Amino acid sequence: MRRAIALATALTLIAGAASAETWTKYVDVPNGTAWSYDGDYTYKDKETGRLVVMQAISKPSANLGPSAPGKPDGVGSVVALDCAKKNMILLGSYKPSAPLAINDAWRKETPKKAEGADNAALMAAVCPHIDHVPVK
């Protein structure tokens, strides 16, 4: 019986760790706001070769994350980056009042140039890892 309880506890801990969020801040912006990406969600899209990244905003004074969709303090988006061409496609966004809805046709969307210091910082933070993330 003790072994069964120990095994159940271990499996619960492993399952919890698999769905963990690992947020890494990549840029601070004005007014105490910062952007982070979730390393546990980041992967290379098998079909397009793009790096798919979940990013979230945090602002402690407004009780914002960073957090994943469905959390009361979660505000962010999922983007697909072409690190070589420096462009991106928005797959979907989320906030407490709107769950994340990924556009199923995102691979057919026209990419937009990744402009702005925040997007440059995101690419600088995640693109060096493109060969070390899972391919899905």
- The model's pLDDT over 50-69, given as tens digits with 9 standing for 90+, comes to 999 999 999 999 999 999 99
Max Cα–Cα distance, the chain, nearest Å: 59
| Predicted structure pTM score | 0.84
Q: Per residue in 85-106, pLDDT tens?
A: 999 999 999 999 999 999 999 9
| CA dist list (Å): 16 to 20, 26, 88 | 6, 25, 31
Tell me which CATH code domain 21-132 carries: 2.40.128
